[in-house]
Structure 1
Amino acid sequence: MKNSKHAIRGLAWACGIAAAMAVAGCGGGSSSDDDNGGNPTTPTSPTAFVLDSIVLPGSKAKAEAQVQPLGVTLRSTRIVLPQLDTTKSEQAGLGKPAMQIGVPRAVAQTTSVAKTQAALQWQPLPDGRTAAAVHIASEGAYGLRMGVVVGGLPDAAQLRIYSDEHPDAVVQVSGASVNALLAQNHKAGESGQAADTWWTPDVGAGNATLEVVLPAGTAADAVRIAIPSVSHIYQNLSLPTEAELADVTKAQQAGACNLDANCTSNYQLERNAVARMTFVAADGISYLCTGTLVNNTKKDYTPYFLTANHCISTQTSASTLQTNWFYRSSSCNSGIPGTFASRNGGATLLYATASTDSSFLKLNDTPPAGVTLAGWDARNNAKEGASIYGLHHPSGDLLKYSVGSINGFTNCVSTGGTGVSCSPGDAQSNFYSVRWSQGVTEGGSSGSALFNDGRVIGTLYGGSSSCKAPNAADSYGRFDKVFNSNIWSWLAG
């Protein structure tokens, strides 16, 4: 049995090997404007099997909304959760899929709607609106996401999130956006408290303040929310604000044999298609993987996003997705991040399958200008010996690259927890076996794309490569297989 990349990297399949398609078996779904079924003009076969990359121009990207100050300092109920033993937390996550970065913590003071309403101290604003706030800190955390269970929230409400360390770096989300995310969960057939939970963005600190702002004339009792838990991020993801970038020294998280993507003149186009992604599972555990934007034959800049099924296989998790773009070093081996951008709006899960460990989504937020929508090649399988490379975020670190070749084909199955067993296959098998000549992969690399000549040909499932075993094999789900099974209808329909 080969280890995962979460013992070195997480490899549990969320739905089990027998589930061929998570849309039916794992609660995945599609929005109506992306559902090609029933349309008589829909092609019955792909219009293309190979496509090149394109770059998102500024004219197609949405301008960042400016968050205006409230004009007053709100009183807030302040809740502090005691120090957490992160060693036990990390050990508890070893049997989970993907790279675990956080654990849930109960919040007794806001566990119900009644308690949360009591904690929200409403006060008037100068413009006639009303607002209230609650602050939660978890001792020892590097990040924190509040799990807000929504029983009722006006569309016109504004939710503002920030930390004590960065009170001016406010993330603002409308009540309508929150309600739309939760509606997505229900449309996908998911139910229960997890489907009714909106997870606040991680603002890069172990504390967060949630402000709720209501339009003039809106009754406070229209807000029926509870915050029964938070996800305590114990992994230091080191996401400084733009103003701090020049002064922040970031300790390297990945093994020293990983190669800085800013130390090569290669991959200049495709590296901008790669995002570091974090998300929260239904049980409140937070994870980190890597994903890649992919182009479609209409070339309309639709933000289709490819990652691993063992990372995201349900709409509930997709709704929590945060992405970090251009997250790489400011210069070769500087260990300091350059200017990057984040998106917090989640995604629509279009298709997920355990057969190739692939997950295909559409981001709800437009990525920043300058990102690449990567090309792909679905013309059968790549040949043994073909040169390949990967771009990924091992251990959540700045963007790295690996170079190697196709070693053969494998048949892979989950052995439970983070274990996976791969046996030699043939050209019909669903996975490539890859060996690296430069660099490796680690936890956090899961879901990242395998490239050949600038085009995606696979997504990382797992394997045994590491700085201690650089020649060990990794396994990638074949893009041509998942393309032909379903996703061509979005990419080449």
Structure 2
Amino acid sequence: MHSHATRLALLACLLALTACGGGSSESPPAPQPPAPAPAPEPPAPPPAATDRIEPFDPGLAAKQAPMAKPAAPALPATAQITQLTLPPLAPTPPAGVDADAGAPLQIGTGRSLTATASTERTTALLHWQDSGRGTRIAALRFVARGAQGLRLGLQVQALPADARLWFVDATGQAQLGTAAQWQALAARNTAAGMDEDSARRYWSPELAGEQATLILEIPADAPTAQVRLAVPLLSHTTVTPEQQLGLAKAAGSCEASVSCSPEFIEQGRSVARLRYVEADGRAYQCSGTLMNDMGSSGTPWLLTARHCIADQGTASTLSTDWLLRASACGASSTAAGHVQRTGGATLLYADEGSDTSFLRLNDSAPPGVVYAGSYFGSEALPGTAVSVVHHPQGDLQQLSRGTLTGYSVCNTSTNLCIAGDATSATFLAVNWQQGVVEPGSSGAGAFITLGQRRYLVGQLFGGTSSCSNPAGRDYFGRFELSFAQALHRWLKP
């Protein structure tokens, strides 16, 4: 009985364990949580705006080490150098006096050179000799008493293929021009419709001080008769680029350095100080903006005012100074990194109606710049805030901030402007809340803010503002009109 009862108890226990799943190697699967819902598709990016071109910052990745400059040939101690000396200029009012706001800043005057006015006269003054490096050289020295800088205006008829033209200042600093550069310049000028004499005008780079030496260098086996040129005039500058940088607050006292507003420094990285010479030797300074295109190609498009650069001859003389801002707010020293380009430009479009000049620099833009965005839609309306970074009086970059107050019709011959409407007017009117514009500011871009970015909507024509008249109104050519008329061919082809 006892063993039977025990067997019954064990059997009951086993049945109980089986019922509870205990001791089984194949337990039923645990319930699974529901599958998560599929992640929603990311929202489609907003369609690209069709009424603007975005700014482009290529950064410094492509920065190249500066190339070593070739050395000018040393003139032998026995070299015969003809020196031509001009007396000091008569005293004149300081540059910019009585000039309209936004007018070009005159920085130099043309002076005639009778002794080298023709090819025959110039040839008679050249004394050729061996350079000691497989070439022959001849030199002419020009002195203009009291000049702070000189640019020589050469009339070039012919040069041997490998000829070099060295331009040397009183300290021995030399800049090089070549026959190939002259030929390229003459071709651009001719293609622009200039007459033969004007097309062959070659302006030297600007040399500091009152002395400039022209050294002609040709291959030893090249006939000297192949050198046919004259120097009929020079440009006597009253202030050099370096001196302008050293001037203590050349701009008016009401101006504000862009370095005091770090959020606008990127806008300033698109802005250049322009220096150029007109056909009669007068030299001027304006402001301009490096423009981006729809493909962010890095092509150095430049926008400025037509009353600054209106023809190819002037464009060919252009030099540009970039990244010229104070090293800190309140500082008179220049931030590191400023760069000069001296290769001139090709004029692509000039329109008097909106005072537009659009060019392509012959040199590449330097590292560190930003290619500005532009807006050609309908949101640049009265009441919109604007910002302008410019070089008043050739000073370091200053920032002016204001408001678009309406549209204006301007006579670019008389500089008179009257109120207009969006249909008939070709200029935007601006009043300032910070700063003004001055001589040297001409051509600077006016920017509006859309979202988190700034876009150019016009370039400075002129107006009546000054530090003594901060309520004066200034006028900017409407970019959307010049874009629709012509600039789209290059910026949004």
* Range class of TM-score, shorter chain: 0.7 to 0.9
Checking the alignment, whether the CA contact within 8 Å between 1:250 and 1:337 is kept in structure 2 is no
Partner secondary structure for residue 349 of structure 2: strand
Paired residue type of 1:312: I
* 1:148-159 equivalences in 2 (<5 Å): 148-159=154-165
1:79 maps to which of 63, 68, 84: 84
1:448 maps to which of 437, 440, 444: 444
The corresponding residue for 1:123 is 129
The corresponding residue for 1:54 is 56
Give per-residue Cα distances to partners, 1:59-92, cap 9 Å, x unaligned.
6566543223245235332222101014179699
Give per-residue Cα distances to partners, 1:365-400, cap 9 Å, x unaligned.
112111111111111350111111001111111111
Distance, in Å, in 2 between the alignment partners of 1:264 and 1:182 is: 43
State yes or no: 1:188 paired with 2:192: yes
The corresponding residue for 1:110 is 116
State yes or no: 1:350 paired with 2:354: no
Q: Structure 1: which 5+ runs fail to align?
A: 1-45
Checking the alignment, whether the CA contact within 8 Å between 1:451 and 1:458 is kept in structure 2 is yes
Distance, in Å, in 2 between the alignment partners of 1:222 and 1:410 is: 55
State yes or no: 1:300 paired with 2:304: no
Distance, in Å, in 2 between the alignment partners of 1:432 and 1:109 is: 49
More displaced 10-residue stretch of structure 1: 138-147 or 185-194: 185-194
More displaced 10-residue stretch of structure 1: 377-386 or 388-397: 377-386
**TM-score computed with the length of structure 1 as normaliser:** 0.83
State yes or no: 1:275 paired with 2:272: yes
The corresponding residue for 1:26 is none
Paired residue type of 1:260: S
CA RMSD of aligned residues (A): 2.5
**How far has the Cα of 1:195 moved from its partner?**
2.5
- Larger CA Rg, structure 1 vs 2: 2
Q: 1:330 to 1:71 in 2, by over 3 A?
A: same
Distance, in Å, in 1 between the alignment partners of 2:204 and 2:156 is: 12
**How far has the Cα of 1:49 moved from its partner?**
2.8
2:422 maps to which of 401, 418, 427: 427
* 1:87-486 equivalences in 2 (<5 Å): 87=92, 98-165=104-171, 167=172, 169-234=173-238, 236-239=239-242, 249-339=246-336, 340-380=338-378, 382-414=380-412, 416=413, 419-428=414-423, 429-453=425-449, 454-486=454-486
Distance, in Å, in 1 between the alignment partners of 2:94 and 2:269 is: 33
Higher RCO (CA < 8 A, seq sep 6+): 1
**How far has the Cα of 1:276 moved from its partner?**
0.5
Q: 1:284 to 1:311 in 2, by over 3 A?
A: same
Checking the alignment, whether the CA contact within 8 Å between 2:103 and 2:438 is kept in structure 1 is no
Q: 1:150 to 1:71 in 2, by over 3 A?
A: closer
Checking the alignment, whether the CA contact within 8 Å between 1:194 and 1:283 is kept in structure 2 is no
Distance, in Å, in 1 between the alignment partners of 2:325 and 2:340 is: 13
Paired-residue identity, %: 35
Distance, in Å, in 1 between the alignment partners of 2:370 and 2:138 is: 40
Paired residue type of 2:351: T
Checking the alignment, whether the CA contact within 8 Å between 2:99 and 2:439 is kept in structure 1 is no
Q: 1:462 to 1:262 in 2, by over 3 A?
A: same
Distance, in Å, in 2 between the alignment partners of 1:442 and 1:305 is: 20
Dislocated runs of 4+, deviation >3 Å: 56-65, 88-97
State yes or no: 1:67 paired with 2:69: yes
The corresponding residue for 2:12 is none
Partner secondary structure for residue 178 of structure 1: helix
Paired residue type of 1:392: H
Paired residue type of 1:221: A
Checking the alignment, whether the CA contact within 8 Å between 2:109 and 2:236 is kept in structure 1 is yes
**How far has the Cα of 1:249 moved from its partner?**
4.4
Distance, in Å, in 1 between the alignment partners of 2:482 and 2:489 is: 11
State yes or no: 1:490 paired with 2:490: yes
Checking the alignment, whether the CA contact within 8 Å between 1:61 and 1:366 is kept in structure 2 is no
